[in-house]
Amino acid sequence: MSLAFQAEGLVKRFGKTTALAGIDLAAEQGTVLGVLGPNGAGKTTAVRILATLLRADEGRATVGGYDVVRDAGDVRRLIGLTGQYASVDEDLTGTQNLVLIGELLDLRRRDAKARAAELLEWFDLTEAANRPAKTYSGGMRRRLDLAASLVGRPAVIYLDEPTTGLDPAKREDMWGVVRSLVNDGSTVLLTTQYLDEADALADDISVIDHGKVIAHGTPAQLKQIAGGQTILVRPLDPARLPEVATILGTVAGREPESPGRGVVTVPVDDDRAFPTVVRRIEDAGIGVMELSLRLPSLDEVFFTLTGKPAVEVAA
């Protein structure tokens, strides 16, 4: 496998602020790299450097083997960019926006129109095709933005917080689009503040904070960082909660917690703990409504890594 893009030791300062303090990012072809971090972590700055919009003060980056500074023109042929900043023109219709980009990508006008129609249909915007983009809803705008970045069939697609501000159903739609892009062989760099989004889409995740990568790995590896697994039990009869807590405490060898009404949880390190708990609860004749073994959420991972919640400002 070859790398679709690679950034090494990127540093970027804006006046006294250090946006990037030496960041490495890379993704193999046909995979999704999730770049996860809170507002102001440096996600957008990194994307802008990889998209040739901004020059790094130090470090280097390549896309498809081309240097983002020296071979910027070649890089621009390979990439598609969608973000809150790389937006469409509000006064133009959906079709006009996409045809314009097609023409700028040297498609013949006829081909540009065909491509526009195709993308509008794929993104379910055919009915709105001839309306100015300013009349679009938020979700439609995002879809048009994404369509605009796909006109040239980019091999590498940057999605900078593509679902921020979208309602849950629209997010699911967007996730479906990202998955199909990857199925088609594209490589995606996805920045997000949402841990569930990175978990759902990314093959690899780089967690960044204050301009540095503070963790990198598969979603499963990152979950390992936050400690082992957690057993959760919800008895049918809430009155039997103390009994359940005692069993969990004995098996796990530590104090169980009660994070919600009628639920007890305890973190465990041993793989045999879960079957033991199941057996003991059965022996005690306690009916359960819910009994599960789960990995820590990425929220917990982030908290472990940085000592603070992932999403402080937004959402």
Partner 1 sequence: MTTTIERNPAVTGTAPSGQPPARTFRLARHSLALARRSLIKTIRTPEQLLDVTLQPVMFVVIFVYLLGGAISGSQSAYLKFLLPAIMVQSVMFAAVATGFSLNTDVKKGVFDRFRSLPIARSAPLIGSVLGDLARFVVSIAVLLGFGYAIGFRIGTNPLEALAACLLVIFFASAITWIFVLFGVIMREPGAVQGTAFLVLFPLTFGTNMMVPTDTLPGWLQAWVKINPVSDVMDAARALMTGGPVGDTVVKSLLWSVGIIVVFAPLAVRFYRRRV
Q: Which residues of the shown chain bind partner 1 in the complex (CB under 8 A)? A: 2, 29-30, 51-54, 64-66, 73-74, 76-79, 81, 83-89, 91-92, 96, 100-101, 103-107, 111, 114-115, 118, 122, 132, 148, 150, 152-153, 155, 180-181, 183-186
Tally of helices (H runs) and strands (E runs) in the chain: 11, 13
**Phi/psi class of residue 308: alpha, beta or left (left: φ > 0; alpha: ψ in -120 to 50)?**
beta
Q: C-beta of 11: minimal distance to partner 1 in Å? A: 15
Nearer to partner 1, 153 or 294 (CB): 153
Nearer to partner 1, 91 or 270 (CB): 91
Q: C-beta of 278: minimal distance to partner 1 in Å? A: 44
Q: How many Å apart are CA 37 and CA 212, to the nearest integer?
A: 10
Nearer to partner 1, 143 or 234 (CB): 143
> Would you call 312 exposed, middle or buried from its count of C-beta atoms within 10 A (0-12, 13-18, 19+)?
exposed
What is the Cα 5 distance to its own chain's centre? 17
Q: C-beta of 41: minimal distance to partner 1 in Å? A: 19
**Of 210, 216, 193, whose CA–CA distance to 12 is shortest?**
210
Q: How many Å apart are CA 9 and CA 22, to the nearest integer?
A: 4
Nearer to partner 1, 55 or 254 (CB): 55
Q: C-beta of 51: minimal distance to partner 1 in Å? A: 5
For tokens 């605009």, name the residue: 148
Q: C-beta of 169: minimal distance to partner 1 in Å? A: 21
Nearer to partner 1, 46 or 51 (CB): 51
